Amino acid sequence: MAEVFRGEAMSVQGFKKQVAIKRVLPHLAQNKNFISMFLDEARLGARLAHANIVTVFDIGAADNTFFIVMEFVDGCNLKAIIEEHRQQGRRIPVKDAVYISIEACKGLSFAHEVQDDDNNDLHIVHRDISPPNILISKRGEVKVTDFGLAKATTQLEKTDPGVVKGKFSYLSPEAALGEPVDARTDVYALGIVLWEMLAGRRLYLGETDYATVKLVQQSNVPSLSRINPEVDAELERVIGKSLEKDVEKRFQTARDFGDALAQYLFSRQQKVTAFDVANLVKWVVDSKKATKAGQKPEQSIIDRLIQEELLRFTSLDDVAPTPDSDSGEKDGARPLDGGLFENPADWFADDKDVQSAVETKARDQNRGPRWSESGVETPEDAGDLSDMLEEKAEPAPRTSAPAPAAERVSVPPEPKTSAPVATATETKLKTTAEDAKDRPSEAGKSNAMLYVAIAIVVIAGAGAAAYFGGFLS
């Protein structure tokens, strides 16, 4: 019936404002009944100044048709959010769906209770509450729009008896039966919207318009908790009350419906704000842009991890049987056999290098470090090395040896002579020197062995220092 443009209102001193311009289609401009209904929408919209209702700024005529200047809502409508979730196999979070419904209840409650200049109730009924008429901005603001079919006491266009106005899938049972409607009709329609947000599918949708109207008249509502396990019994009870076929059993006002939904969130201690809804809108807008650009929308980290785990998953039924398995018998069904287990200690029994390294490690762990007075660690086998060197070196022959102390006897001193008397030590050194002169080959051999022993001691000391230096580090 009309088309909407995005415009820019300009005024003095560079004042600019983004607006939406709703213009009647040219072929309907000559229809007096439609023009009257269009003017009703403009006049009611001018009175409905509320944060949850799209504001009407002005009305005008140009090119033989009328137009309405309205608030521009930068975001998307609720239908786009529902459809995007359905196409991607996702559900709108319960708390977000409840919050959107609460905000819509605020706008409807204001419209239902608005009065004229004489404080008389206008008894406004929207009569077309549906997902396309609930706009949500990128800031998470929820706004009800399109009061073109609204019923009010001041409207110019009167509805003929029995005439049904509104989208068939969102009619109330009394509206589908052609009976008088009031604010409870909008409550029923908003209950349908909330049901569809949580279910991810339409509530009343027949193969034809007539079949759809018959479904609304019957008002058979399937169990929502069976469709969405996240919906508990309390929330289903609240939604069920908004969808009561009997208007007397239904929530009597949008205020009561919104209060019941708010009580549900508070009782469950669920935090939800406009920021959460803003993230929801941003995801939908980005997905639609990616789809138009021919790109696949980017998955969240959690969705990507879930997909990766699903790809790794292998069913037990898909595992091929081993060639040596019995006919049809699964390995998991067999009892455990102790003889089939292996001893890890036998894995390297035939490997000589491994066994040698294990024995060396065990010998090193059993020996404790010893410390010399100089602070350098001396291995325990240093004594063994000295003994080995003494065994290899040939001792020099001794000509005389002092008698044990127990066998010594006192001898009277001999008379002094001109020659000095040699002591036992001098005698031993002299004898050794004489023997060395007599056996030069053996003396050289003894010196060579001494040099070899010194070299071995130096090498052993260096190795011990390196070993214990690494141990200390």
Higher pLDDT, 365 or 185: 185
Residue 457 confidence (pLDDT): 80
CB atoms under 10 Å from CB of 299, counted, come to 12
Q: Helix, strand or coil for residue 388?
A: helix
Q: Helix, strand or coil for residue 195?
A: helix
pLDDT in tens, 322-375: 444 444 444 445 555 555 666 666 676 677 777 787 778 777 766 555 444 444
Active site residues: 128
Q: Is the pLDDT of residue 213 over 90?
A: yes
What's the mean per-residue pLDDT of the chain? Answer: 77
H or E stretch at 288 = helix 274-292
Domains and CATH numbers, the chain: 75-290 (1.10.510.10)
H or E stretch at 68 = strand 65-71
List Cα–Cα distances, 280 to 135, 277, 285, 287, in angstroms. Answer: 13, 5, 9, 11
- Of the candidates 273, 242, 246, 237, the one whose C-alpha atom is nearest the C-alpha of residue 257 is 242
pLDDT in tens, 431-464: 554 554 555 555 555 666 777 778 788 787 777 7
Residues linked to residue 77 through DSSP beta bridges, in sequence order: 135
Distance CA 269, CA 163 (A): 45
Distance CA 215, CA 127 (A): 18
CB contact set of 380 (below 8 Å; sequence gap of 6+): 367, 368, 370
Q: Which two tokens stand for residue 351?
A: 């490997």
Q: Is the pLDDT of residue 263 over 90?
A: yes
Residues 251, 257, 260: CA angle, nearest 5 degrees:
115
Residue 238 confidence (pLDDT): 97
How do strand 142-144 and strand 75-77 relate by DSSP bridges?
unpaired
Residue 9 confidence (pLDDT): 87
- For residue 97, the one-letter residue type is A
**Beta carbons of 110 and 53 less than 8 angstroms apart:** yes
Q: Helix, strand or coil for residue 62?
A: strand
Put simply, whether the predicted model's pTM sits higher than 0.85 gets the answer: no
Task: Name the pLDDT band for 236 (thresholds 50, 70, 90).
Answer: very high
